[in-house]
Amino acid sequence: MIIVGIETSCDETAVAIYEGDVATGKGELLAEQVASQIETHARFGGVVPEVASREHLLALPPMVESVLAEASLPWSRVDYIAVTAGPGLMGALLVGTSYARAAGLVHNIPVLPVHHMEGHLLAPGLAGALPEFPFITLLVSGGHTMLVRVDGIGSYSVIGETVDDAAGECFDKSARLLGLPYPGGPEVALLAKGGDRKRFGLPRPMLNRDNLDFSFSGLKTAVMYAVKNAGGIESFDLQAMKDMAAGIEGSICEVLVKKSVRACLREDAPRLVIAGGVAANQTLRSMLFKLAESKGVEVHLPHPKHCTDNAAMIAYAGFQHLFAGRNAPEEWDATPRWTL
Ligand code: KG4
Ligand code: ZN
C-alpha cells in the first residue's frame, strides 16, 4: 500500500511516501522532502501566518511531483493520501488539505485527514516498530508541551500539559531576550555548551508540584529579570551569555525529564517516547537517558529529522489508521484547533 503524506500546518512544507503492509503494520519510507520557511520568517521574529500560506502554495505542488519522481511512482500507484488536517494555522492547513482533496478527486484516491500531534506521537514507528502499548510520549514543540498516554492507535489520553507557554516557545522567547535569532531553541543549545547552569539561579517551574503539568512563562520572566539585574544584555560578555543559555536549557530540560519519567512510573508504562522540535535537544536527550535508565524506563527516540515537522510521520500515522481497520472519512475539514 502506497501512501503520500502531506504536511503544511505551520512553517514547513513537507511531502513523503510510505509503503506499508496492512497485514503486518510494517513498512518503509520510500522518499521524503522538507522545505523550511524559517529564514523567511526569521526577520519577523516568528511565523507570519499569511506569509506561511503563500510559501506553502509555492512549494507544495512541485514538491509532490518531485517526491513521486524520486520514488519512481506515478499517481496511478498511490493508494491513499494522508494530510495534516489540524491543529495549526488555518491558511497553511487549507493549502495542504485543498491540494490533497484536489489530487484525490483528479486521481480517484481516498484522503485520510491526520492530526498533526498524532503524527509526532507515532513518529518513532518510522524507525522500525512502535514501542509496546501502553507507552508515554512527551510532545515538546514550539506550540505544545504535553504528556500523552498511548494505549493503542487512536487511543490517546493527555495526562499532563503546559498551563501557559510551550517549552519551545520558552526557548524562543528567552533567546529573544538574549538578542538571539529565531528559532531560539537551537541557538540557546549551541551557546549553552561550556556554560554554568547554576550561575543565574533560574527556577525549575512546577517541578515540586505533585502533578504532570508544566508552566514555562515564569521562567521566561525570571530570565528577563536576571538579565536586567545583571546590568542588561549589553553588559554581558560571552561567558555570561553562555551561563544564561545553560541555565535556560538546564531548567527546561530538568523539568521535562523529571516529569516525563514520573509519568511513566505513575502510569505503570515504563516506555517513553519524546517527539516534537525540542526533542532534537542533545542535553534533553542525555539527561533523559541517564534518569530513565536509573528508573528502569525504556527511551524511544525518533530520528532527529522526524522530531521536527515532516510528512513521513503523517504518511505513517495515516497507514496506522488503515492498519487499525479505519478508512477515509466521508466528511472532514481543516481544523486549526483540534484536541487530540
Ligand atoms: O515541532 P517543531 O519543529 O514545530 C512546531 O512547533 O510544531 O518545533 C519547533 C520548536 C521551536 O520552538 C524551536 O526553538 C525548538 O522546537 N527547537 C529546539 C531545538 N531544535 C528546535 N529547542 C531546543 N533545542 C533544540 N536543539
Ligand atoms: Zn509539530
**Residue, of 46 and 90, whose pLDDT is higher:** 90
Summarize the annotated binding site as residue ranges.
116, 120, 139-143, 172, 185, 281, 309
Atom number in ligand 1 closest to CA 169: 12
CA separation for the pair 223, 226 (Å, rounded)? 5
Q: Do 2-124+306-323 and 132-302 agree at the fold level? A: yes
How much distance in Å is there from the Cα of 68 to the middle of ligand 2? 24
Q: Is the ipTM of this complex over 0.95?
A: yes
pLDDT in tens, 72-115: 999 999 999 999 999 999 999 999 999 999 999 999 999 999 99
Which strands, in side-by-side order, build the sheet including 2-7? 26-36, 12-21, 2-7, 80-86, 111-115
Residue (of 289, 201, 215, 285) closest to 243 by Cα position = 201
Give the pairing of strands 271-275 and 135-140. parallel
**Which residue, by CA, sits nearest to atom 22 of ligand 1?**
185
125 or 42, greater pLDDT: 125
Counting ligands in written order, the one closest to the CA of 117 is 2
Q: How far is CA 32 from the centre of its chain?
A: 17
Domain 2-124+306-323: state its class.
Answer: alpha beta
Higher-confidence residue: 142 or 314?
Answer: 314
Q: Where are the domains of the chain?
A: 2-124+306-323, 132-302
CA-nearest residue for atom 23, ligand 1, is 185
- Whether 149 shows a pLDDT value over 90: the answer reads yes
Binding site feature residues for Fe cation: 116, 120, 309
- What's the rounded Cα separation, in Å, for the pair 259 and 86? 27
Nearest atom of ligand 1 to the alpha carbon of 88: 7
Average pLDDT over residues 126-137: 94
194-239 pLDDT, tens digit each: 999 999 999 998 888 889 999 999 999 999 999 999 999 999 999 9
CA dihedral for 306, 168, 183, 187, sign (positive or negative): negative
**CA distance linking residue 205 with residue 82, whole number of Å:** 38
pTM above 0.95, yes or no: no
CA dihedral 180, 185, 187, 190 (to 10 degrees): 150
Q: Which residues contact residue 283 at a Cβ distance below 8 angstroms, ignoring those fewer than 6 apart? A: 189, 192, 249, 250, 253
Residues with CB under 6 A from ligand 1: 10, 141-143, 168, 171-172, 183-186, 189, 276-278, 280-281, 308-309
Say how far apart CA 303 and CA 292 lie, in whole Å: 19
CATH 3.30.420.40 fits 132-302, yes or no: yes
Nearest partner of 26 among 333, 331, 323, judged by Cα: 323
The Cβ-side half-sphere exposure at 289, using a 13 Å CA radius, reads: 8
* Ligand 1 centroid to residue 309 C-alpha, Å: 9
